[in-house]
A and B are shown apart, each in its own frame.
Chain A
Amino acid sequence: MAHLRIDAITKQFGGLTAVKDFNLELQKGEIIALIGPNGAGKTTAFNMITGVYEPTRGKIFFNGKEITGLRPDQITKLGIARTFQNIRLFRELNVLDNVLIANHLHLKSNLFEAVFHLPRYKNENREMLDKSMFLLEKLGLADNRNDKSNSLPYGKQRRLEIARALATNPEILLLDEPAAGMNPSEAEDLTEFIKQLRDDFDLSIFLIEHHMNVVMGISERIYVLDYGITIAQGSPYEIQNNQRVIEAYLGVDGDA
């Protein structure tokens, strides 16, 4: 059974079809990428998976269970976490709090226990702190734990977003342009880092990316969107040599 299966989802905004009949299968432990020119509908596809938008048509299954139309927080609770294309940290809060908040969804203590710091909450709170510190350690942010998150340099903000997503205990991680704004050597580090994440946290990863080096370096399979339509899918090698993909990226020579 596929970890994540998407069955012909379509999203229309009024007369505009942002994504049309998008199909996808993500197996457990896979890293796959979604690429396409700007405005191709990649983030819209992400937003449908994470529940920000409800698909106009089509269905999404996670571990065989339909999740179409659930709210974003419900989907996150089931085990699909994401990062954002334009970083969306809790800007005024410190780094540790950013990660702690992502633990909240698994809190079992009720409000009363939490306010009066009763034993169950105390235990849970300690566990949350330990887990968050472990994640910050892992992502090299432990020294910044008391810094305001918007004071971090850009690269660290991106990593904090990943730390925050991991704190929700996901099975699938959706990364929306994790290498945006990185130079080639940083992007190369990121490639290794994402593979490491998959192995350490037992994840399946689905990412949107523009850096072709990153995409070709880590994805086992690639889907290509153009104007909302899936124009190609296959291994990195197949995609690199696919005529339609080249046309979509470079344009078609009118005289040819």
Chain B
Amino acid sequence: MKKRNAILTILSILFLIAFLYYADNRFNAYQIRVLNLCAIYAILGLSMNLINGFTGLFCLGHAGFMAIGAYTSALLTMPVAVKDQNFFLAPINEALRTVTLPYPAALLVAGILAAVFAFLIGAPVLRLRGDYLGIATLGFAEIIRIVITNLQTITNGALGLKAIPAKTTLWWSFGIAALTTVVILLLIKSSYGRAFKAIREDEVAAEAMGVSLFRHKVLSFVIGAFFAGVGGGLLGNLLGAINPLLFRFTLTFNILLIIVLGGMGSITGTVISAFIVTTGLEFLRFLDQPFSLGFVQVPGIAGLRMVVFSALLMLVVLFFRRGLMGTNEFSWDYIVGLFKNMCKGTGKPLSKGGIK
């Protein structure tokens, strides 16, 4: 069994690599960008799910951490000449002007900086519970955005940054997405992960069992923010241009949508739903353009495609509270069992331990 699963895992990794190689060479720029976005949203979804889904902290500060990551990575990868072009209103801070780092180092710094901010924010804010925590983190994300808008010599203010080196390739985005998945999976399966889940299930009982609430909440929050920062960095270097308006609440909402659809507390669900939502948003672009329903002409309404997802979210919240996967995870045993059942036709139903 174990051997079979290992073989299947290796085969699927090889298949993924082959697919990426094919996509990298044959797909057009638009398709590659969508694939990149899928992987980046998977990273962001996973990091948010760690905080919201596994630790049960209702936190809406993701856009803020992403903004920190995106700006850090962008500024650290831009050559001096590009920086000078960007900062035409006010010259860039002299210390920042000459610093350039290789892409992986820039992403790492982006993550670390986001984590540091998360620690500073988390220490006071994580004493709040439930909705109050949501509102406070939302407020902090907005504060970060406003500060970025006003730090003219560091972030170029409302003008944003343009001509950011396009360093994000499929290999970077999918590689880091895979890394994030593995690290978060291992974390969740470790004793610390169990403590996170205990906090989600019952704070009072968790504390009575010796789990230090504050320490573990901050830990989860900081790790989540780290990956959000890395994801933000990848996004900035993919888009090529960022400005403070990109990091409004709607960005957090998109990620929240992904984890609610995928299942709060499921890594598999988050990854699947990141791909579905991201590609779905692209497929539904026709809704933003004028189209005809046969009897009535709909003028182009920007953002109409988001209505589809809002409706979907409402349906999920009303009828499928657990989302696509609930708290279940993917396992080869389940897939193989499913396959055997289909072959047997009326085989015995899946055992309840099917999805692990």
Contacts and interface: CB of A to CB of B under 8 A. Distances in A.
Interface string B35-52: 000000000000000000
A245 interface: no
Interface stretch (A6-14, A112-120, A246-254): A112-120
Nearest to A111: B192
B204 A88 contact: yes
Given A76-B210, A77-B210, A128-B191, A117 B186 contact: yes
B202 interface: yes
A101 B206 contact: yes
B81 interface: no
B212 interface: yes
Nearest to B212: A73
B353 interface: yes
Contacts of B121: none
Contacts of A168: 209-210
Contact of A97 (B194, B205, B213, B219): B194
Contacts, number: 103
A90 B210 contact: no
A101 B194 contact: yes
Classify chain B: how many residues form its interface, as a range. 20 to 34
B149 interface: no
* Main secondary structure on B side of the interface with A: helix
A194 B153 CA distance: 69
B128 interface: no
B211 A90 contact: no
B205 A88 contact: yes
A171 B212 CA distance: 20
Contacts of A97: 194, 197
Interface in A61-96: 71-74, 76-77, 81-82, 84, 88-93
A101 B186 contact: no
B202 A100 contact: no
A106 B191 CA distance: 11
Given A97-B197, A104-B195, A111 B212 contact: no
A142 interface: no
B207 interface: yes
Contacts of B212: 71, 73-74
B197 A73 contact: no
Interface residues of A, number: 41
Contact of B205 (A84, A106, A107, A146): A84
Given A92-B327, A105-B211, A52 B186 contact: no
B201 interface: yes
Contacts of B211: 73, 101, 104-105
A164 B210 CA distance: 11
A191 interface: no
Contacts of B186: 115-117
A148 B333 CA distance: 20
Contacts of A102: 209-210
Contacts of A52: 204, 208
Contact of A117 (B190, B208, B353): B190
B198 interface: yes
Interface string B147-159: 0000000000000
Interface string A143-170: 0001000000000000000001101100
A90 B197 contact: yes
A103 interface: yes
B205 A104 contact: no
In order of increasing CB-CB distance, the 8 nearest A-B pairs are A105-B210, A90-B201, A76-B210, A114-B190, A88-B205, A72-B207, A102-B209, A101-B198
Interface of B: 183, 186-187, 190-192, 194-195, 197-198, 201-202, 204-213, 219, 327, 353
